[in-house]
């Protein structure tokens, strides 16, 4: 089974060579973590096999044990690799790629889990060429940059570096501004990749944005009315370093929307402040793309007031009607003190603020197809809303 990313992504994947932190070899092969996005905490070569240990960046941590390494065969045959997790159990089904672009699941017969998933043995056929093994597809900073460049050129968008990560990597926002003269400045905001291993959410986001910025009558009408801001890669350090969950400071960015202790969330807060401080500015929608065990939207409760009203109900109903038997779950959540993006943006602006989650194992064709549908129905539903609604509603919470 091949797990091929969308064409605009496939054409531009680059892996930056890094100084090898961990590598080992025997007479049969060499294993290394000498590329962007790799994770291999320890590698020990035995006479006929390899032992790999995968550690998190710190603990306690969400059980998202990311791994990625490269195999360079020295002779053809079968290679045995044992992966051990120090602080979790196996989550991501191993995938293999010759070029870090087209991926396929490793045959289940060649994967054996033991000790409740804390130990996984792979038996891999090798030939002459190197190949990659990873928990999910590799989608690194260079990929995002090339994808953004192509998108900006095709749709006449603009980009801005809104800040820098802890290690100094740029945080890039993509903007589309509406036609001048609108009485209200209606904004929509899309966030992605707060958590490095959550690739299915990233695949969905890129396909979603391609639909919003497409040269279609619906997308052009949407862009004529709404200010669009998209930040596809919020945690570039975590992605580069193969982190399980956190940024370089060991902070879960999706628990920092309130403390704002990290430069990555501070950069987006400055955008939120600009909207809040504009007397004519209104946030209409925030979507934050993630991955979990299933396809689900985490939303406000149905009886919670949002601006526009009943937006989430109408949007998801329209999209799920088109998806038919492949509908996504809606999981309503209380507005708590937990400092997530969903809670922050709804609490401050009163807008629908939704966590858009894709299953780890969801078929990639379904991810791309469904994200197109959700993007189209998102635009249709927002275009049907009344731009003056915010004037008639109680003001959102302010800081």
Residue 295 DSSP one-character state: -
With CA atoms as reference, report the closest residue to 158 among 141, 144, 177.
Answer: 177
Cα separation, 172 vs 165, in Å, equals: 11
Q: Does residue 145 share a domain with residue 72? A: no
Q: Does residue 183 share a domain with residue 38? A: no
> What confidence tens digit (pLDDT) does each residue in 101-136 have?
999 999 999 999 999 999 999 999 999 999 999 999
Distances (CA, A) of 140 to 113, 164, 340: 28, 16, 24
Domain membership of residue 385 (yes or no) is yes
pLDDT of residue 21: 53
Contact 245, 255 (CB under 8 A): no
> What are the strands, taking DSSP E only, across the chain?
2-4, 23-25, 29-32, 42-45, 49-54, 68-73, 77-85, 95-97, 102-105, 111-114, 119-126, 131-134, 158-164, 170-176, 185-192, 226-231, 281-292, 296-299, 329-332, 353-359
**DSSP states of 40-84:** -SEEEE-SSEEEEEE--SSSS--S----EEEEEESSSEEEEEEEE
Domain membership of residue 399 (yes or no) is no
Domain membership of residue 322 (yes or no) is yes
Q: Does residue 108 share a domain with residue 48? A: yes
Cα separation, 247 vs 57, in Å, equals: 9
Give the SS3 label for residue 39: strand
Q: Does residue 215 share a domain with residue 99? A: no
> What confidence tens digit (pLDDT) does each residue in 52-86 have?
999 999 999 999 999 999 999 999 999 999 999 99
Structure confidence at residue 390 as a pLDDT band (50, 70, 90): low
Domain membership of residue 91 (yes or no) is yes
State the average pLDDT over residues 242-255: 98
Cα separation, 302 vs 26, in Å, equals: 59
Q: Does residue 221 share a domain with residue 119? A: no
Q: Does residue 174 share a domain with residue 100? A: no
Instruction: Give the CA count within 13 Å in the CB-facing half-sphere of 69.
Output: 29
Cα separation, 183 vs 195, in Å, equals: 37
Domain that holds residue 148: 141-392
Q: Average pLDDT over the chain, rounded to whole? A: 92
Domain membership of residue 397 (yes or no) is no
CATH number at residue 34: 2.60.40.3120
With CA atoms as reference, report the closest residue to 148 among 254, 12, 36.
Answer: 12
Domain end position, chosen among 85, 107, 134: 134
With CA atoms as reference, report the closest residue to 212 among 194, 195, 225, 199.
Answer: 225
Q: Does residue 259 share a domain with residue 312? A: yes
Domain membership of residue 270 (yes or no) is yes
Q: What order do you get walking across the sheet with 102-105 strand by strand?
A: 2-4, 102-105, 95-97, 131-134, 68-73, 29-32, 23-25
Give 44-48's long-range contacts (Cβ < 8 A, gap of 24+).
48/80
Domain end position, chosen among 103, 134, 165: 134
Domain membership of residue 231 (yes or no) is yes
Cα separation, 299 vs 332, in Å, equals: 5
Q: Among residues of the chain, what percentage have pLDDT more than 70? A: 92
Structure confidence at residue 282 as a pLDDT band (50, 70, 90): very high
CATH number at residue 263: 3.40.630.10
- Whether cis (ω within 30° of 0) applies to the bond prior to 156 is no
Cα separation, 278 vs 272, in Å, equals: 10
Domain end position, chosen among 85, 115, 134: 134
Q: Does residue 318 share a domain with residue 231? A: yes
Cα separation, 207 vs 353, in Å, equals: 20
> What confidence tens digit (pLDDT) does each residue in 196-241 have?
999 999 999 999 999 999 999 999 999 999 999 999 999 999 999 9
Q: Does residue 340 share a domain with residue 215? A: yes
Domain membership of residue 398 (yes or no) is no
pLDDT of residue 387: 83
Q: Does residue 204 share a domain with residue 119? A: no
Contact 328, 395 (CB under 8 A): no
Residue 394 scores a pLDDT above 80? no
Q: Which residues contact 153 (CB under 8 A, 6 or more apart)?
A: none
pTM of the entire structure? Answer: 0.93
Q: Does residue 154 share a domain with residue 122? A: no
The tally of domains found in the chain comes to: 2
Backbone angles phi and psi of 393, in degrees to 5: -105, 160
pLDDT of residue 181: 78
Q: Does residue 146 share a domain with residue 286? A: yes
Contact 165, 237 (CB under 8 A): yes
């Amino acid at each position: 089974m091949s797990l091929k990313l969308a064409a605009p992504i496939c054409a531009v994947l680059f892996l930056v060579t890094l100084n090898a932190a961990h590598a080992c070899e025997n007479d049969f092969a060499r294993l290394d973590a000498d590329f962007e996005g790799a994770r291999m905490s320890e590698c020990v070569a035995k006479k006929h096999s390899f032992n790999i240990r995968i550690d998190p960046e710190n603990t306690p941590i969400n059980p998202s044990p990311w791994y990625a390494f490269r195999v360079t065969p020295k002779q053809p045959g079968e290679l045995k690799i044992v992966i051990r997790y120090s602080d979790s159990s196996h989550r991501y089904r191993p995938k293999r790629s010759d070029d870090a672009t087209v991926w396929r699941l490793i045959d289940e017969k060649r994967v054996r889990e033991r000790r409740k998933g804390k130990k996984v043995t792979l038996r891999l056929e090798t030939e002459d060429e190197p190949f990659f093994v990873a928990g999910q597809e590799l989608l690194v900073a260079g990929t995002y940059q090339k994808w953004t460049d192509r998108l900006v050129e095709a749709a006449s968008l603009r980009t801005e570096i809104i800040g820098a990560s802890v290690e100094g990597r740029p945080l890039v926002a993509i903007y589309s501004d509406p036609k001048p003269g609108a009485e209200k400045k209606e904004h929509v905001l899309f966030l992605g990749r707060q958590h490095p291993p959550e690739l299915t959410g990233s695949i969905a986001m890129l396909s979603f944005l391609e639909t919003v910025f497409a040269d279609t009558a619906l997308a052009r009408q949407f862009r004529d009315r709404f200010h669009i801001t998209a930040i596809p890669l919020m945690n570039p350090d975590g992605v580069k370093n193969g982190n399980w969950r956190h940024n370089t400071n060991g902070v879960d960015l999706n628990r920092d929307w309130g403390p704002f202790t990290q430069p990555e969330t501070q950069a987006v807060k400055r955008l939120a402040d600009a909207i809040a401080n504009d007397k004519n500015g209104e946030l209409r929608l925030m979507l934050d793309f993630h991955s979990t065990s299933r396809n689900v939207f985490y939303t406000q409760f149905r009886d919670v007031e949002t601006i526009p009203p009943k937006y989430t109900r109408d949007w998801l109903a329209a999209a799920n009607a088109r998806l038919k038997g492949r509908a996504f779950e809606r999981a309503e959540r209380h507005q708590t003190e937990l400092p997530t993006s969903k809670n922050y943006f709804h609490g401050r602006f009163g807008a629908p603020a939704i966590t858009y989650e894709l299953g780890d194992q969801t078929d990639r064709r379904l991810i791309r197809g469904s994200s197109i549908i959700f993007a189209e129905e998102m635009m249709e539903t927002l275009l049907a809303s009344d731009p003056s609604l915010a004037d008639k509603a109680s003001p959102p919470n302010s800081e």
